[in-house]
């Protein structure tokens, strides 16, 4: 190795060490960054971004459901950076940006329908609090053990909910999206499935969908079982016989099993592991997952808690599953927005199959640029 390569490797190791300090850990984390940093005195401004892979697993071949040998990009809620999440316009943006799939979080309505929203309490993401006709619907409930005051989807019909307009919950983070506050309607899962069918009829590719039920245990207690409603929507959209077009993701194993019993093998199942459940990512726990699971979706913040975070994709593959990571965007790249190319390249070379992104347009673009540089 010549002096330039040694300097380059030294700065890469320094960047990784800086990440360890930020997250307060003493173990190696998976994140990779650009090999050139602002502090480096050996690389010129014209040097292209390089992805450091000599410390990553080299055998990351993918096969099976969602393991296509290329990274799939899923737009979470569509493209919420550009339009309020969960609206038809947000999903259209994600499709236009080249996402391979979109993800819809869904909750139940009073009339046993599925609304595309991330939570059953509406005031944070809609204009319901400003709607005088619904003032008497404000109430206090205990939802999953937490007392909450607001307006709840299970107290509205889907027709009523479609009259509400979306607002951006975090306008400082997503000012472009916030500019559309009050303009865009809420939609049901059936509406989204029709939208996808129409888009796919016009495209030269098939856009799939991830569906993530929210508050499933809570709704089960209200006798509004989500698995039945999801199965009905998939049947109505004639997707039961479309292999791998639909993936249901949840941390609720009971729900996933019930859906498997209702919709069969063509609809894929993804088991979600958040940062609070990182202990489920051991070899023994992965081996104990039912073979009806196709995908393990891991929250980004779970990785620093693992003894061997870089080895997780290989371990998940060996257990027989594809691996997804969420949330992915420049806003949560470990070394800041400028490190996104190195970060994505490293995840790709680790063998990650699916990236669930709040900014699918930028992720698709960066991955395409990396591919072009290699060609």
Residue 63: predicted pLDDT: 66
Long-range CB contacts (within 8 A, 24+) of 231-239:
231/259, 231/262, 231/263, 233/114, 233/189, 233/190, 233/193, 234/193, 234/263, 234/267, 235/263, 236/190, 236/193, 237/190, 237/193, 237/194, 237/197, 239/193, 239/266, 239/267
Which fold would CATH assign to domain 72-119+183-374? TIM Barrel (3.20.20)
> Average pLDDT of 345-349?
94
Q: What is the pLDDT of residue 241?
A: 82
Indicate the domain borders of the chain.
72-119+183-374
Residue 272 scores a pLDDT above 90 = yes
DSSP codes joined into one string, 151-172: -BGGGS-HHHHTTSBB--S-TT
Statement: residue 22 has pLDDT above 80? no
pLDDT above 90 covers what percent of the chain?
Answer: 73
Q: Residue range 316-342: average pLDDT?
A: 93
Handedness of CA 288, 325, 327, 123 (dihedral sign): negative
Q: DSSP code of 187? A: -
Taking the complete model, does pTM exceed 0.85, yes or no? no
Mean pLDDT of 159-171: 97
Q: Is the per-residue pLDDT at 312 higher than 90?
A: yes
pLDDT > 80? residue 111: yes
What mean pLDDT is predicted for residues 181-185?
A: 98
Q: Which residue has the higher pLDDT, 37 or 347?
A: 347
Give the pLDDT of residue 266. Answer: 83
Chain position carrying tokens 């502090």: 39
Q: Tens of pLDDT along 23-33?
A: 333 333 333 33
| Higher per-residue confidence, 178 vs 13 | 178
Q: How far apart are CA 318 and CA 74, in angstroms?
A: 23
The rounded Cα 181 to chain-centroid distance in angstroms is 23
What pLDDT does 181 receive? Answer: 97
């Amino acid at each position: 190795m010549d002096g330039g390569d040694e300097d380059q490797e030294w700065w890469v190791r320094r960047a990784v060490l800086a990440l360890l300090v930020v997250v307060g850990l003493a173990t190696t984390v998976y994140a990779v960054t650009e090999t050139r940093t602002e502090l480096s005195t050996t690389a010129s401004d014209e040097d292209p971004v390089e992805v450091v892979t000599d410390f990553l697993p080299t055998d990351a071949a993918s096969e099976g459901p969602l393991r296509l040998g290329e990274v799939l990009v899923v737009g979470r809620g569509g493209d919420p950076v550009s339009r309020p999440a969960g609206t038809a316009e947000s999903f259209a943006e994600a499709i236009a940006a080249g996402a391979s799939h979109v993800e819809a979080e869904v909750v139940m309505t009073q009339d046993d329908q599925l609304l595309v929203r991330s939570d059953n309490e509406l005031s944070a993401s809609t204009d319901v609090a400003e709607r005088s006709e619904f003032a008497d619907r404000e109430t206090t409930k205990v939802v999953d053990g937490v007392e909450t005051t607001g307006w709840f989807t299970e107290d509205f019909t889907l027709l009523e909910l479609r009259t509400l307009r979306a607002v951006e919950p975090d306008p400082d983070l997503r000012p472009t999206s916030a500019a559309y506050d009050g303009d865009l309607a809420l939609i049901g899962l059936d509406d989204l499935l029709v939208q996808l069918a129409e888009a796919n009829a016009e495209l030269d590719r098939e856009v799939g969908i991830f569906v993530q039920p929210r508050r499933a245990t809570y709704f089960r207690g209200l006798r509004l079982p989500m698995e039945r409603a999801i199965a009905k929507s998939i049947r109505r959209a004639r997707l039961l016989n479309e292999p791998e077009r639909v993936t249901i993701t949840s941390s609720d194993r009971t729900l996933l099993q019930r859906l498997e019993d209702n919709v069969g093998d063509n609809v894929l199942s993804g088991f979600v592991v958040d940062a609070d459940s990182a202990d489920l990512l051991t070899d023994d726990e992965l081996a104990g997952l039912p073979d009806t699971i196709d995908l393990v979706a891991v929250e980004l913040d779970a990785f620093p808690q693992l003894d061997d975070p870089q080895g997780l994709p290989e371990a998940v593959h060996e257990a027989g599953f594809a691996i997804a990571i969420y949330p992915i965007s420049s806003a949560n790249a470990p070394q800041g927005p400028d490190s996104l190319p190195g970060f994505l390249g490293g995840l790709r070379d680790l063998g990650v199959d699916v990236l669930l992104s709040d900014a699918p347009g930028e992720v698709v673009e960066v991955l395409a640029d990396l591919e072009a540089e290699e060609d």
